Amino acid sequence: MSYRYEITQAVVRQGIIAIIRTADTSSAVMAAVPLLDAGLTSLELPLTNPGALDAIRQLRADHPDAVIGAGSVLDEASAVAAVRAGAQFLVAPNLNTAVIQAGHRYGAAVLPGAGTVSEVVQALEAGADAVKVFPAPTPQWVKDVLAVLPYAPLVPTGGVAPADVPAWLEAGAVACGVGSALARTPIDEVTALLRA
């Protein structure tokens, strides 16, 4: 994958972006590896973890076929640091055009956050590759927004359980960010969901 559109396609291909929210490098890697082994291919490591950049480096080296991104990317400096650590995509809970510009400058896909229709439009106008809808409202909200913005690639995140993902995708979301609920889901259920 060398182009942003290819990265974006790979990020959303399975419909689930696993958010690995842990406290350090080793716990992030330990949480990520079973998911990768189960067949999940898209992981986000939030920069709220002080060891996230090292975890990104390690996971990119050990799992070259996975798509590894950084989350909670709030400013340009964090965006550049994440890309230099190997992040292929950047996710934020908010819209900061400097993050989009920095990510794009270095070839990373960027999924800024939005909570309203106006913010979704602003994110798209700023060049977002997809838009993280945070916190996730309801599948009906996604359906309603897509009725007026049918081209908006929406990624609901925050409070989405693995079992809820099919309903979000049916409503028109391109993928869902799934965090703590995924960590509590038995790995065999994750595998079954990916097969479905």
Of 76, 125, 132, 143, the active-site residue reads 132
User: With DSSP H G I counted as helix, E B as strand and the rest as coil, what are the percentages for the chain, rounded to 5?
Assistant: 50, 15, 35
Of 6, 44, 125, 143, the active-site residue reads 44
Question: What are the beta bridge partners of residue 131?
Answer: 154
Hey, what are 93's tokens?
């809970």
Residue 143 designated active-site: no
Torsion of CA 114, 115, 121, 127, to 10 degrees: 0
Q: Are 36 and 28 in contact (CB under 8 A)?
A: no
Count of other CB atoms within 10 angstroms of residue 64: 8
Hey, what are 147's tokens?
């009725």
Residue 6 designated active-site: no
User: Which residues are the active-site residues?
Assistant: 44, 132
